[in-house]
Amino acid sequence: MKYIEEYRDKGLILKLSDHIKKSVTRNYDFMEVCGGHTSAIHRFGIPSLLPPEISLISGPGCPVCVTATDFIDKAIAYSQRENVTIVTFGDLIRVPGSSSSLEKEKTKGADIRIVFSGLEALNIAKSEPDKTVIFLGIGFETTAPGTAVTVRTAREEGLENFLLLSAHKVMPPVMDAIVKDGIKIDGFICPGHVATITGSHIFNFLPEKYKLGCVIAGFEPTDLLQSVLMLVRQINTKSPDVEIQYSRAVTPDGNLIAQNQLSEVFEPCNANWRGFGNISASGLRLRKEYAAFDAEKRIPVIIQKHRGNPSCICGDILRGLKKPDDCSLFRKACTPENPVGACMVSSEGACNSYFKYHS
């Protein structure tokens, strides 16, 4: 298949793998902060192509995995109200809240529907005017512009029964938090889709402030291996920088139209992250001009604070401190069909990827 197979060329892949093996001079710990990367790394068997000196650590890049329990609890609380339809992307319905999940509530009869895009949620609101349709907006700079367009369209069309519950987040503050936390890494494999929207410049603070290497990577096996090689070279030559490997999609300035859509509808806010707690200016909420579409403002709900399963180490995994194998629940109490932590739910979660692709 054109534009895919070229990047999966076995000869090129083995050559890159060989280059990496010849280039290593020490141990290297690299963190990927995109769930798409975590999934691709395991799907293509990338660890089996790397020398033992290189460890890839999965960071907080899967939007489902970093979604805090209180967001799920809130969505469940909304789903219990009369004439409310919850509309969500698929993975989110299985994420455990403090005592239930959207999937369980759906089975009990709550009106919870899965869509592939925000605009599909709008169509539901249009065709069922008696329902209050609440769209669960999750994801990073990649998916947030889509939600922004959805909310703008709702306003333009005067839809009064469409609301957004936003858990949208932005990437740089959590990367900053990881480094400040003292987690030992030598460089970041930076998220290619996020950077397609934002431009590469949002990562400049990492080499400037912390002397950390950054390579913005694509999602094919040659992309990932080339990115690892570029990071190894940055470290070997002690020249940390933000390099763009995924140059077929990413530019220094990014997609300005998407950025404008985003900033017209959203503004930064503090946000709760599973595993990290509250991180300042790491979330996106609707601007006051769009308050009429903000579920939390239109229909406030109160939820109780709960503690999660104390044995679950999703937080440490998301912060790159531990691997799924280190968890006492992994493969035992926590499996993809019975997830205890959010990292086991999404195909992009570190625990789910480990479960599926490792013996």
Partner 1 sequence: MSEIVTLNHGSGGKQAHELIVNLFVKKFGMPQPLTDSAVLIEQGCTFAFTTDSYVVDPLFFPGGNIGKLALCGTVNDLSVSGAVPKYISASFIIEEGFPVKDLEKIAGSMAEEADKAVVKIVTGDTKVVEKGKCDKLFITTSGMGFIKPGFEPISTGKKIRPGDKIIVNGQLGDHAIAVLGARNNMSFSSSVVSDCTSLNHMIQSVLSECNQVHFMRDLTRGGLSAVLYELAQLSGFGITIDEISVPVDDPVRGLCEVLGFDPFNLANEGKVLIVAGRNEYEKILDILHSHPLGRKSALIGEVTNLNKGNIILNASSGGKRILDIPSGVQLPRIC
Query: In terms of DSSP H, where are the helices of 63-171?
Result: 69-79, 102-107, 118-127, 144-156
In this complex, which beta carbon is closest to partner 1, that of residue 85 or of residue 234? Answer: 85
In this complex, which beta carbon is closest to partner 1, that of residue 9 or of residue 267? Answer: 9
Structure tokens at 292: 């009429």
Distance CA 168, CA 175 (A): 16
CB of 359 to partner 1, least distance (A): 5
In this complex, which beta carbon is closest to partner 1, that of residue 235 or of residue 351? Answer: 351
Which residues contribute to the site for partner 1 (CB under 8 A)?
Answer: 1, 4, 8, 10, 13-14, 17, 34-36, 39, 42-49, 62-64, 89-92, 94, 103-104, 107-108, 114-117, 119-120, 138-140, 142-143, 193, 221, 335-338, 346-348, 355-359
Q: Could you count the other beta carbons within 10 Å of the beta carbon of residue 221?
A: 23
In this complex, which beta carbon is closest to partner 1, that of residue 103 or of residue 128? Answer: 103
- Looking at residue 239, its amino acid is S
CB of 106 to partner 1, least distance (A): 8
Q: What are the Cα distances from residue 71, in Å, to 63, 93, 281, 358?
A: 12, 12, 17, 31
CB of 17 to partner 1, least distance (A): 7
309 neighbors 274 (Cβ within 8 angstroms): no
In this complex, which beta carbon is closest to partner 1, that of residue 51 or of residue 292? Answer: 51
Structure tokens at 347: 């195909």
CB of 35 to partner 1, least distance (A): 6
- Coil, helix or strand at residue 57: strand
CB of 210 to partner 1, least distance (A): 25
In this complex, which beta carbon is closest to partner 1, that of residue 116 or of residue 158? Answer: 116
Q: What is the largest CA-CA distance in the chain?
A: 65
Helix (H), strand (E) at residue 29? strand 28-32
CB of 231 to partner 1, least distance (A): 19
Q: In sequence order, what are the beta bridge partners of 278? A: 272
